[in-house]
Amino acid sequence: MLSVDNITTFYGASQALFGMSLAAGKGEVVTLMGRNGMGKTTTVRSIIGFTPASSGTITFDGQRTESWPAYRVAQAGIGLVPEGRQIFPNLSVHENLFATSANRRNQPNEWTLDRIYELFPRLAERRTHMGNQISGGEQQMVAIGRALATNPKLLILDEATEGLAPLIQEEIWNVLETLRSQGLSILIIDKDVDALMRLADRHYFVQNGRVEWSGSTEELGQNPEVIETYLGI
| Residue from 24, 31, 42, 46 in contact with ligand ADP (CB under 6 A) | 42
| Residue from 14, 106, 181, 182 in contact with ligand ADP (CB under 6 A) | 14
* Residues in contact with Mg ion by the rule CB under 5 A: 40-41, 83
> In the bound complex, what is the minimum distance in angstroms from residue 203's beta carbon to Mg ion?
16
Contact 26, 186 (CB under 8 A): no
Residue 181 is a binding residue for ligand ADP (CB under 6 A): no
Contact 162, 36 (CB under 8 A): no
Residue 11 is a binding residue for ligand ADP (CB under 6 A): yes
Residue 188 is a binding residue for ligand ADP (CB under 6 A): no
Residue 52 is a binding residue for ligand ADP (CB under 6 A): no
Q: Measured from the CB atom, is 37 or 163 closer to ligand ADP?
A: 37
Q: Measured from the CB atom, is 48 or 119 closer to ligand ADP?
A: 48
In the complex, which residue's CB is closest to Mg ion?
Answer: 41
User: Alpha-carbon torsion 196, 202, 207, 208, what sign?
Assistant: negative
| Residue from 4, 24, 31, 40 in contact with ligand ADP (CB under 6 A) | 40
Residue 16 is a binding residue for ligand ADP (CB under 6 A): yes
Residue 126 is a binding residue for ligand ADP (CB under 6 A): no
201 binds, among ligand ADP, Mg ion, none (CB under 5 to 8 A by kind): none
| Residue from 28, 30, 31, 34 in contact with ligand ADP (CB under 6 A) | 34
